Amino acid sequence: MSDPILVRNRQARHLFMQLQGLSAPVRAKQSPEDLLDLIRQLGFVQVDSIQTVARAHHMILFARNQTYRPEALTGLLEQSRDLFEHWTHDAAVIPAAFYPYWRHKFERERTRLKERWQKWRRDGFVEVIDQVYETVCDRGPTMARELGQDQKKPSGGWWNWHPEKTALEYHWRTGNFAISGRENFQKVYDLTERVLTPDTLSAECDEAGFIDWACQSALARLGIATSGEMAAFWDLIKPAEAANWCKAELEGGRLVEVTVEGADRKAAPRKAFAFPDIEQQLAEAAPPLKRLRLLSPFDPVIRDRKRLERLFGFDYRIEVFVPAAKRKYGYYVFPILEGDRFIGRIDVKHQKDRDSLHVTGLWLEPGVGFGRQRERGLMAELDRQRRFVGASAVTFEKGYHKC
C-alpha cells in the first residue's frame, strides 16, 4: 500500500473554503435559484436567535454573496418550500431535497427525546403530547404562546419551556410537525403534510443509503475529513457508523488516506480521508477572495472549533454564556477573515436606537499589523454590513487591542 498523500496546510484551507462558498464572486446577482444552489452547496445554514448585527443565517449567506436579501430566503422557506427548517447539530435551514434522510433522524430521536425530556421536564410533558398533536390538527398553524402557560405570560429560554411548548418541539423534532413560518422569530408549527410538498414527502431511502449519503455528502463539503468529522457534520449518524463506512470505502478503493498539515507546523500531520481525486481537487481549488469579511460565530467554516484551530490556527470561543466579568473579548464577537487567514475579532452591534453600526472593540491576532490598507479593508466591510442592516453610520467606542 502506498503512503498517504500529504496535503499542505494552505491546500487544505483553500479546498475547504472553496467548498464552503468563500472563493466565489460576492457581487454576482443572486436569484432565488442561485440562493438555493448556495445552500445546497453548504449543506445547511444554522439558524440562531441572537441579533447583534443580523441573525446568523443572514450573515452566513451575506458573507458569500452581498446581493443576498433575507426576503429571498423567506420565499424559499415559506412559499416554494424548497427549504425546510430542522435540526443538524442545532436548528438549521436545510434543502427539502434532503428531507428523506431526516426521516431516519426522526425515528432515532423518537424514543431518545421522550425519555430524555421526560427526565428534564417532569411537569406533564408526556401527558400532553397527544393533546398538543390533536390541537394542531384541529387549529392549524400554532405558536407556543397560544398554548398552555404561554397564554398567561411568555416563557424564558428552553430551560423554562412549559409542557405544551416541549410537546410542540418534540413533535417537530420527530417529524410530526414542521415549521410553516416564523413571527418575530417565534416558530409557527403545523402538521408536516400541510407544510412540505407532496414530492418532498414521498421521497424515501433505506438505512444503508442514509448512512452512505450522510458520509459522502459530508466529505464532499469538507474536502478532507476524519470519520468523526463526517459524523459530526450533519449530526445524523453515530461516529461508529461513519468509521465503518470509511473502512469499507477505503477497502473498496472509493476513499484514500491522506495526512494533513496543521497550522502549527510543529504538530504531526493528521490522518484523514478524501475522495480518490483529491490531488486534482487540490490542484484546481481556487484561492479564497482576498477581501476582509466578518463571519457569524455560527458560520460553517468556524463551526467546528477544533478543526478551525487545527486548520487555521485560530482559537475562537463564543462567550454568550460566559459571565460578563469573565469574558475575554465580548458577548458576541465576530471573527475577521482576510483571504485564507483569520486576523482578529471584532465586537460590533447594530444600535437601532442610534441608527448606527457601533464598534466597541477590535482585537488583532499576534503578528497582525493594522496599516492603512488593512484599515481600509475593515472600513469597507463595516460599511457593507451597515448597508445590509440599514444603519446610517458606523461609529466607534474605542480602538483595537492585540490578542
Asked if residues 72 and 30 have their Cβ atoms less than 8 Å apart, the reply is yes
Asked if residues 88 and 45 have their Cβ atoms less than 8 Å apart, the reply is no
Say whether 291 sits in a helix, a strand or coil.
coil
- Which domains are present in the chain? 292-396 (3.40.630)
What single-letter amino acid sits at 397? Answer: E
CA distance 125 to 161: 10
Say whether 341 sits in a helix, a strand or coil.
strand
Helix axis angle, 129-139 to 163-173, nearest 10°: 80
Average pLDDT of the segment spanning 161-178: 91
Provide the pLDDT for residue 402.
55
Cell of 90: 442545532
pLDDT of 150 above 50? no
Closest CA to 41 of 66, 60, 58: 60
The DSSP secondary-structure symbol of 346 reads E
pLDDT tens digits, one per residue of 199-213 = 999 999 999 999 999
Q: How far is CA 385 from CA 48, 52, 146, in A?
A: 18, 12, 36
Q: How far is CA 138 from CA 148, 195, 196, 198, in A?
A: 16, 15, 18, 21
pLDDT tens digits, one per residue of 388-398 = 999 999 999 86
The contacts of residue 50 (CB under 8 Å, 6+ apart) are 56, 320, 332
Grid-cell match 481549488, residue found: 285
Provide the pLDDT for residue 400.
58
pLDDT tens digits, one per residue of 316-368 = 999 998 999 999 999 999 999 999 999 999 999 999 999 999 999 999 999 99
CA distance 179 to 192: 8
Cell of 345: 475579532
Average pLDDT of the segment spanning 43-56: 95
**pTM of the full predicted structure?**
0.93
Provide the pLDDT for residue 154.
46
Cell of 242: 461513519
Q: How far is CA 94 from CA 26, 82, 143, 188, 205, in A?
A: 22, 9, 21, 17, 17
Element (DSSP H or E) covering residue 250: helix 239-251
Say whether 311 sits in a helix, a strand or coil.
helix
Helix axis angle, 9-19 to 305-312, nearest 10°: 130
Percent of the chain clearing pLDDT 70 (strictly above): 93
Specify which residues 363 forms β-bridges with: 345, 401
Pairing of strands 45-46, 91-95: antiparallel
Specify which residues 357 forms β-bridges with: 350, 394
| Rg (alpha carbons) of the chain, rounded to whole number | 22
- Tell how far CA 9 is from the center of its chain: 23
Asked if residues 258 and 224 have their Cβ atoms less than 8 Å apart, the reply is yes
Say whether 378 sits in a helix, a strand or coil.
helix
Provide the pLDDT for residue 121.
60
Asked if residues 164 and 148 have their Cβ atoms less than 8 Å apart, the reply is yes
Provide the pLDDT for residue 157.
53
Cell of 2: 502506498
